[in-house]
Amino acid sequence: MKMETELLSSPHHVDGDVARWRGDFPVLRETVRGKPLIYLDNAATTHKPVSVIEAEAAFYRHANSNVHRGVHTLSLRATDQYEEAREKVRRFINAASAKEIVFVRGATEAINLVAQCFGRPRLTELDNIIVSAMEHHSNIVPWQMVCGQTGAELRVAPVNDAGELDIEMLGRLIGPRTKLVAITHLSNALGSITPVKDIVEIAHAHQVPVLLDGAQAIAHLEVDVNALGCDFYAFSGHKIYAPTGIGVLYGKQAWLDAMPPYQGGGDMISSVTFGETLYNDLPYKFEAGTPNIAGAIGLGHALDYLTSIGIAAIATHERDLLAYATGLANGIRGLKIIGTAREKASILSFTLEGVHPHDVGTILDHDGIAIRAGHHCAMPIMQRFGLASTARASFSLYNTRAEVDALMAGIAKVQEMFQR
């Protein structure tokens, strides 16, 4: 499986659509240690197409101003672009109203917002929150914090040896004092897709609302919050080809209306005196201070870009890559795939006998191949499988089978080095 540089640089060796998509990402023309960059760390963050990069730059060149309440031209221009981005998010996830779209820094802040504004006022020492064993720390720690503040219990739904959620056990954990179910849509450590529509139906049958952590899912699966019926959905822009420091909390309007604000300051108020503050309407009640205006505009353009391709087309390509990579990986002696759920997307986590994952990642980097090695901010699921860490390759729309071949050749090289 010798890697040929020409295979990676020539569009004649990849699907025409993928070759065109690759041309939209300037960073893919970079070299690492003299080798063409092979970027397989998309679960950590995705690269940005030219349209997103240019949209951010254009804002600073032509519209840089603070949003809302300004009457001068640049402020009006910035406000229009910022609110247009909110509408693009609404359409992309099929929310009922732009009032249900709150801009935050990322999925982590979105989940913390729900924990403190929805969870904390409703929880007592008699109540509980349910998560799963394969959550990212961002969907564990905020609930631990709020349980510590209120005395509530954190219940954990188990996963099986394939990394699939035990949905029957999750149903048994729900009781009359359950206040929220908070579950990942797509595991960042395993690639497992959870049956979120079924989860929502089970929880709602007990009048329990559901938050879905969509940080991984948003770039790989079609997300329709109306069809899913979830009460909250959180995702980060940087995992969907948008800038860092911007994310979204979707919340049903009835819940958001009933929640107190997360932070105090400018723009989240309608009136302030020293005796009383009246809060702004949705969604601004939760957007204190100057927002990441350029990031929101960049997110809107990222969604435009994905819409122009179609999530279904992207998912088909990524399923092919994952199936191809899985087949090759299963043929490597000493390699064990961690996470073999029947429903998976985009992620190949593995261990290599006798080699620490960090060594795998370091050696692959010498061939220009970027993967992630570690616990992936999901230590409980690592412990579930008796591991401290894994090596993780994660795929996106711009990856190719040739890059998968290079990854497997690199793994073979790692094994040769450690067998000497």
Number of H helices, E strands in the chain: 16, 17
Q: Using omega within 30 degrees of 0 as the cis cutoff, is the peptide bond preceding 283 cis?
A: yes
Is residue 233 a contact partner of residue 250, using CB atoms and an 8 Å limit?
Answer: yes
Buried-exposed string 324-333: b where 16+ CB fall within 10 A, e elsewhere: bbbebbeebe
Same domain? For 251 and 388 the reply is no
Give the closest residue to 135 by CA, choosing from 25, 230, 214: 214
Q: Is 117 a catalytic residue?
A: no
- Among 117, 147, 230, 377, the active-site one is 377
Pair of tokens at residue 61: 């060149």
Pair of tokens at residue 244: 């860092």
Work out the percent of the chain whose per-residue pLDDT is above 70. Answer: 96
Give the closest residue to 133 by CA, choosing from 94, 162, 97: 162
Per residue in 134-174, pLDDT tens? 999 999 999 999 999 999 999 999 999 999 999 999 999 99
Question: What single-letter amino acid sits at 339?
Answer: G
Residue 46, domain member (yes or no): no
Query: pTM for this one?
Result: 0.93
Per residue in 327-354, pLDDT tens? 999 999 999 999 999 999 999 999 999 9
Residue 29, domain member (yes or no): yes
How confident is the model at residue 341, as a pLDDT? 96
How confident is the model at residue 214, as a pLDDT? 98
SS3 state at 40 = coil
Same domain? For 110 and 230 the reply is yes
Query: Measured at the alpha carbon of residue 15, what is the angle toward residues 13 and 16, in degrees to the nearest 5?
Result: 105
Q: Which domain holds residue 371?
A: 5-36+310-415
Strand 269-272 with 277-279, pairing: antiparallel
Helix axes 401-419, 311-330, angle to 10 degrees: 30
How confident is the model at residue 76, as a pLDDT? 92
Query: Of 269, 289, 308, which residue sits at a domain end?
Result: 308
Residue 12 — pLDDT band, cuts 50, 70, 90? very low
Same domain? For 239 and 333 the reply is no
State the virtual CA torsion across 66, 69, 70, 76 in degrees, nearest 10: 80
Same domain? For 248 and 338 the reply is no
How confident is the model at residue 71, as a pLDDT? 86
Query: Of 261, 288, 308, which residue sits at a domain end?
Result: 308
Per residue in 257-304, pLDDT tens? 999 998 888 788 788 878 888 888 889 999 998 999 999 999 999 999
Q: Tell me how crowded residue 297 is: count the other CB atoms within 10 A of its CB.
A: 25
CATH number of the domain that residue 115 is part of: 3.40.640.10
Residue 45, domain member (yes or no): no
Is residue 342 a contact partner of residue 190, using CB atoms and an 8 Å limit?
Answer: no
How confident is the model at residue 420, as a pLDDT? 65
Same domain? For 92 and 20 the reply is no
Same domain? For 281 and 352 the reply is no
Q: How many domains does the structure of the chain reveal?
A: 2
What whole-number distance in Å separates Cα of residue 242 and Cα of residue 221? 16
The pLDDT of residue 416 is above 90: no
The pLDDT of residue 126 is above 50: yes
Same domain? For 341 and 387 the reply is yes
Residue 25 — pLDDT band, cuts 50, 70, 90? very high
Same domain? For 194 and 228 the reply is yes
DSSP character for 355? B
Going from the C-alpha of 261 to that of each of 82, 111, 257, the distances in angstroms are 21, 14, 10
Same domain? For 119 and 200 the reply is yes
The pLDDT of residue 9 is above 60: no
